[in-house]
Every structure is written in C-alpha cells, then in structure tokens.
Structure 1
C-alpha cells in the first residue's frame, strides 16, 4: 500500500523546479556579467601602470612608440591615450626583453591549490593566482578538475550551459581520448592565460576511474602525463582540484609538482589541514610504492586564508601557524573581504570586478598582490635561471 506523502514533501517535480530556478538565476548573473564586459571591455592599463608592469620608464615606451618599434597608442576622441590592453603590455615586454618567463631548461611549475575541506577559498585562490601570473607576463594554464566548476564560473562561464562535458578532462581521464589534453584548452579574456574548464559531468570520472584503477593503478598517472605534455607551452599550470579525496584528487596529487594548502585560522580548519597533511603523507607513500611515476614536490606550503584582522582568535591561530610552519607558510595572510563575494556575483575576480577604486577594493587588491608576490617567489625559486636574479633582487 502506497504511503501518503507528508505535507510539503519534496517530490521529483519539486527538485526539478528548483534546478530550473537555479539555472535561471545563474543565467541572469551571466547576462549581467556579459553586459559589464561589453560596457567596459578587458582591463586597460594607464601608461604609468604599463611602464611598471613592463619594467621600463614611461619615456622609454614613448620613444619606442615614436620610433615605430612599438605600435602607436590607441587614442580617445579627446586625444588622450585610451590605455593599453594586457596583450599590448606583453608586446612591450617582448620588445624590451622583460618577460619573466622560465628558461627552456627550467621545469614548468604544476601547482595544485588543495585542501580536502570545502570553503577554504581554494577556487578563489586558484583563479586569482592564475590571473596574477598572467598579468605579470607568465604563460599560464589553469585547470579546473572540480565538478562544482567554481573556477570555470569565475572566468565567466555557466559550466552546465556553456561547457560540453566532452570538452572537460573527462574523456582523457577515462581513456576515451589518447591524443593529449590539448582538445580541452581554451583561451580566456586574459592574454597568455588559458583554461581547461569543468562541469558537473566531470564527476562521473570518479566512478569510472575507480573501476579502472582496480585493475591498473597506472591509470592515476594519465593526468600527470597529459599535464606534463601541455605544460611545455607554459610557465605555470594551476590546478583547482575537488575538495575531497577521490580518484581525481589522487590524480592531481601525482600530477602536481608543488602544492599550496589554503587554511583558515580556526581550530576546526587547522585540524582539517592536519588531517590533510597526514593523508598526503600516506597517499604519496602509496603512489611511490604502487606506480612507476614517483611523486616529488618542489614545495608544499600553507596559506592562511579568510583572516579577519583584529579578531583575537584569528590572530592567535595565525601566530601559532606562523611559528609552527615558519618556512612552509606564506608570510602574508589572505584577508577576508566582501570584495570576493561582490566580484563573484559578477562572475569575475577581484582583479576584474567593477568598483575597484573604493578603499575596500584597493585594500583587498593590495593584500592579494602581496600574497601572490609571496607565491611568485616560491615559484621562481624552483627555476635555476631565476635564482641568481632573486639573489640580485635581495629576495633569495
């Protein structure tokens, strides 16, 4: 006998309605984001900003333009410079030889931003790190391996509308494709920054890989093989993994050459990070034993995230972390800011969001730049060709 439904019980139709409603909201957010991009276009840099990014004086840029070594600047109707796109800034870097790229013999850095606890800022850090390095002139690939696709969303895509599952890593991970991962790489609106997107369909890789790995542990090495091949065209590959230990996360741990662990300064989050580190030790030991591809990281470092200044508990925990991990935690903490939430509503990052001239926005951006500067130093220390430069800069 069929039991009567409880009053207000959720049926399949109810859930379907919620899905449709959520998709509609995301679509509206995407429309707003597209309108803002159409209105403002990609970010443009003033001459003084461009000079700072390029590492040459304003006069040097003016002389190169006057001599025809660089294209004439785009002018507004008023006759003033309209500013430079990142592509134009990179053209200047190429002319003056100031690109900060790795040397051909330096290994590309494959950086996983990983913690098995959600809500630590993993996707936010991944997207901002990729954009920071691109703005600095590095060649960057960001890889979204999380089926929640937060990083893909931050780059302006509606994952389950704009992204076909066949264009994610799924076909490659489950061996439906054997021609590398180049098919999944797409450009972003940032010059020099490419994306491999994700969507909900990528989650099926967990089930399929779990069956395949039972008979062949080497399946976990596929991501490493694909990323190493793709990384030859980049300086830095940033991976946003799932916030749980599964087949994809295991593949990421094997593929990565460096790990950044975001950790909010609370006792619960720190306990989660401690558990992650213990699990990392076990997983790396197991991978080294069971596969033909040993795991070795150029660095594993923590980053204190979502820190609220002048909050006593956060200051105490941050101090404990700083003393305990010393050289294995970035010196600058990522401060909590409403700017991240404001930007995400626009399907953008803080580096792209409108309203960037307010005091709060400037404070958030300056803090981000300091954090990413710390991370950049860790990356450059892995490149033999940069170590002398770091010493000359008084950094190493």
Structure 2
C-alpha cells in the first residue's frame, strides 16, 4: 500500500502541541490576571447623570445630602467640586427616594436563559452586557455560568483556573450525589454592585458525566435539579441570567427546564441562521420528550435576537429581512450590531458598559452603547411585563 507523503502525527507530538498551547494560555492569563490587577468598577457619575438614573432632580439630591438623608459627597480638595458618584452611591439614592426598580415580593424573579446550541453567536457577550445594564438600572441580578468554557466567569474578573474550584464553587457539587441542597454555597459577590455570580470552569464538564450516570436512575430529578436549586436563591434577586454551554447536553437541557424565558441570539448569516432554525426544531422536539418525563414547561416569552448584524453586508440585510418575515412575532425589534467596540472590550475581558475616559466619547462607542441599550431595554420591558406590581407603571409609561 502506498504511503502518505506526510509523516504521521503521533500521540507524543499531540501532547507536545497541547503543552505549547497551555503555555500560550498561561501567558495570556498572566497578562490578564496579573497580581494586583483585581478587577474594579471605575464608573463615576456626575450629579446630573445620577439624578437621571435615580429619577429625581439634582436639587432633590443636594437637599437630601444637606439634611443628612444622604452622606455628603466626596469633593476635590482643589476645586471643591463633587468628584462623582459610584453605582453604589446611586443605588443608595434610589433607596432613599424609593426608586429602586425591584419586583414586589409577590412577583417571581425572572429566570432568563440566553440559549443557542451553536457557539460564537454572542451568547456570553449578551449575558454579561444584559446583567450590567440591569445592574445600572438598580435591579438585583444573579448570573449563573453553566458553560465549562467559563467565558462569562472570566468577564467578571475571575480566573477559572485559579480563582474557581470546581469541587466547591461551581454548579458541579450541586449535581453530585449527596451534594448541597441549595445554591447559596456557590454565590459570589462581584465588583459590580447588584450582581452576584455562580462561576464555572473546565471541571464543570464533569457534570455531564454525573448526569449520564444518574439519568437512568432518576431522569426527573436530574432534569429539574437546576430548577430546584434556583428556587433556593430566587427570592434574593430580581433577575437570574443563565449562560448555558453551546451544545445539546444534559446541562443545556437542565437550563431549558429551569428557565422562565429564553432569548436566542442568532447572527443573520446562512450558517448561523440555519443552525438557529435547527436549534428551534431540536428544542421543540427535545422539550416534548422532556415533558413526557418531567411534565411540560411553559415560557413567559421566547425571543430571537439578531446579533453581529452588519447593515453594510447585503447578505445580512436579506437574511434579517427573511428572519423578520418567518418570525414576525418572535424577533426582538432591536438588533445587536457588529461592533469593534464590543470585540475590543471582550479581548480585554471587559464590556462596553465598563469603559471609561476618552474612549466613551467617540462616535463608535456612542453608537454601540445605543445598540446595546435598545436591546437590553426591550428585554427589560418584557421582564417587567411578567411582574404584576410593575403593570401600573408600564401603563403610565405607555408600554402596556
């Protein structure tokens, strides 16, 4: 038999390739997670912006500071002017003025999954930006990273390889036989006021094997295990966001069973749109199968979000038009445009909402921020529509 002109790649050489890849990853992590570079939120708001966020006048804020309801603001010693308010300061103002947007105790916290079985569609990007948008508004948010790739965990400043122990900090212990009965053990405060995180790392992949081993014994327990865990922390938050793995596995199925609503990111290109169509077909079939085992699950809403949209590409425009025609009631009206601003921020494990300084004054940043705000505001309104306590305000705002 004639031999290949190429030499065989042996297991030893594959091990060497893996070792070199690990070295590159280590160098990247050393740069992004260098000692003394713990992530902090550097956002600062002047009194005008703080007043807009709180829903009160600048005078009301100054009066509250003068009569002691709010602490005296920090001032620049040289100029005597306010140095700016942090998000924690703004939330304190909201508490004083009664303008925090929290749901009523009688309303159920929204459990929202940003779900697609295909990778690279903007799922983690959407979760992080939506969480931070809601936190800026004053909501109490929990982010559950269900993906062993841990992109969302990294974006919130944790090194999955160092700062996260799969035996203690991720969802993995909860899925193990005899594991904790509540998810409180895994909740981590973040540098964002109002956002808690249940992190992930590569060890979470082992949960798939735990699932497979237990599925034959008790399929209903396994499928609804995550849902039961979320119920143990639900009363602490207004919104719980889940970032599932980009694959049809047991974790993804658990997310589908646990979610109250779904947002499905789908870039308007042939491959991604085709994959999303297959995802919807597969999801329908899968949920029907799961319903036979654990009962049906209804969703408050299921919306498709066009992501990475480029209006300059005729193919994108044509496919987006087709998406609107095929899913007239299911598409979010806003689209998440393709933006170098998001890509550049993500490369530094950051988000557009965290950027400060001169970069936020560029037209590119302002356009990107407008796209993100439009998408996130539309989702926020959908969430509020599920809370009866918000209905009077929504009617007053002309949104219901």
Q: Counterpart in 2 of 1:178?
A: 180
Q: Residues 172 and 207 of structure 2 are in contact (CA less than 8 Å); yes or no, is this contact kept in structure 1?
A: yes
Q: Counterpart in 2 of 1:344?
A: 346
Q: Counterpart in 2 of 1:240?
A: 243
Q: 1:45 and 1:383, CA in 2 relative to 1: closer, same or farther beyond 3 A?
A: same
| Superposition deviation, residue 363 in structure 1 | 1.1
| Superposition deviation, residue 32 in structure 1 | 9.3
Q: Counterpart in 1 of 2:72?
A: 72
C-alpha distance after superposition, 1:49-91 (max 9, x if no partner): 1111111111111111111111111112221111111111111
Comparing 265-274 and 318-327, the one that deviates more: 318-327
Q: Residues 184 and 232 of structure 2 are in contact (CA less than 8 Å); yes or no, is this contact kept in structure 1?
A: no
| Superposition deviation, residue 365 in structure 1 | 1.0
Q: Secondary structure at the match of 2:233?
A: helix
Q: Counterpart in 2 of 1:389?
A: 393
Are 1:149 and 2:150 counterparts? yes
Q: Secondary structure at the match of 1:31?
A: coil
Are 1:375 and 2:376 counterparts? no
Q: Counterpart in 2 of 1:14?
A: 17
C-alpha distance after superposition, 1:148-189 (max 9, x if no partner): 000011111221122111210000022342331111100111
| Superposition deviation, residue 194 in structure 1 | 0.3
Q: Counterpart in 1 of 2:83?
A: 82
Runs (5+) with no aligned partner, structure 2: 1-5
Q: Secondary structure at the match of 1:118?
A: coil
Q: Secondary structure at the match of 1:298?
A: coil
C-alpha distance after superposition, 1:282-303 (max 9, x if no partner): 1221222101x54111011110
Q: Residues 87 and 136 of structure 2 are in contact (CA less than 8 Å); yes or no, is this contact kept in structure 1?
A: yes
Match of 1:325 among 324, 327, 339: 327
* Structure-to-structure mapping, 1:293-332, within 5 angstroms: 294-332=296-334
Q: Residues 111 and 256 of structure 1 are in contact (CA less than 8 Å); yes or no, is this contact kept in structure 2?
A: yes
Q: For the residues of structure 1 that align with 2:43 and 2:116, how far apart are their CA atoms?
A: 31
Q: Secondary structure at the match of 1:344?
A: helix
Q: Residues 175 and 210 of structure 2 are in contact (CA less than 8 Å); yes or no, is this contact kept in structure 1?
A: no
| Superposition deviation, residue 326 in structure 1 | 2.4
C-alpha distance after superposition, 1:117-152 (max 9, x if no partner): 111000000011111111100010000000000001
Q: Counterpart in 2 of 1:28?
A: 31
Q: Residues 33 and 156 of structure 1 are in contact (CA less than 8 Å); yes or no, is this contact kept in structure 2?
A: no
Q: Residues 152 and 197 of structure 1 are in contact (CA less than 8 Å); yes or no, is this contact kept in structure 2?
A: yes
C-alpha distance after superposition, 1:253-300 (max 9, x if no partner): 100000000010112211111111111111221222101x54111011
Give TM-score, length-normalised by structure 1. 0.94
Question: Alpha carbon RMSD of aligned pairs, Å?
Answer: 1.8
Q: Residues 33 and 346 of structure 1 are in contact (CA less than 8 Å); yes or no, is this contact kept in structure 2?
A: no
C-alpha distance after superposition, 1:368-394 (max 9, x if no partner): 011101111111111111122111101
Comparing 381-390 and 350-359, the one that deviates more: 350-359
Q: Residues 32 and 346 of structure 1 are in contact (CA less than 8 Å); yes or no, is this contact kept in structure 2?
A: no
Match of 2:360 among 351, 356, 362: 356
Q: 1:33 and 1:309, CA in 2 relative to 1: closer, same or farther beyond 3 A?
A: farther
Q: Counterpart in 2 of 1:213?
A: 215
Q: For the residues of structure 2 that align with 1:359 and 1:374, how far apart are their CA atoms?
A: 23
| Superposition deviation, residue 15 in structure 1 | 1.6
Q: Residues 29 and 345 of structure 1 are in contact (CA less than 8 Å); yes or no, is this contact kept in structure 2?
A: no
Are 1:52 and 2:52 counterparts? yes
Q: For the residues of structure 2 that align with 1:33 and 1:284, how far apart are their CA atoms?
A: 46
* Structure-to-structure mapping, 1:74-153, within 5 angstroms: 74-77=74-77, 78-153=79-154
Q: Secondary structure at the match of 2:374?
A: helix
Are 1:43 and 2:46 counterparts? no
User: Would you identify which runs of 4 or more consecutive aligned residues in structure 1 move more than 6 Å?
Assistant: none
| Superposition deviation, residue 350 in structure 1 | 0.9
Q: Residues 208 and 249 of structure 2 are in contact (CA less than 8 Å); yes or no, is this contact kept in structure 1?
A: yes
Comparing 256-265 and 9-18, the one that deviates more: 9-18
Q: For the residues of structure 2 that align with 1:203 and 1:176, how far apart are their CA atoms?
A: 19
Give TM-score, length-normalised by structure 2. 0.93
Q: For the residues of structure 2 that align with 1:209 and 1:200, how far apart are their CA atoms?
A: 16
Q: For the residues of structure 2 that align with 1:175 and 1:358, how far apart are their CA atoms?
A: 53
- How many residues are matched? 388
Q: For the residues of structure 1 that align with 2:17 and 2:279, how far apart are their CA atoms?
A: 37
* Structure-to-structure mapping, 1:232-271, within 5 angstroms: 232-271=235-274
Q: Residues 99 and 137 of structure 1 are in contact (CA less than 8 Å); yes or no, is this contact kept in structure 2?
A: yes
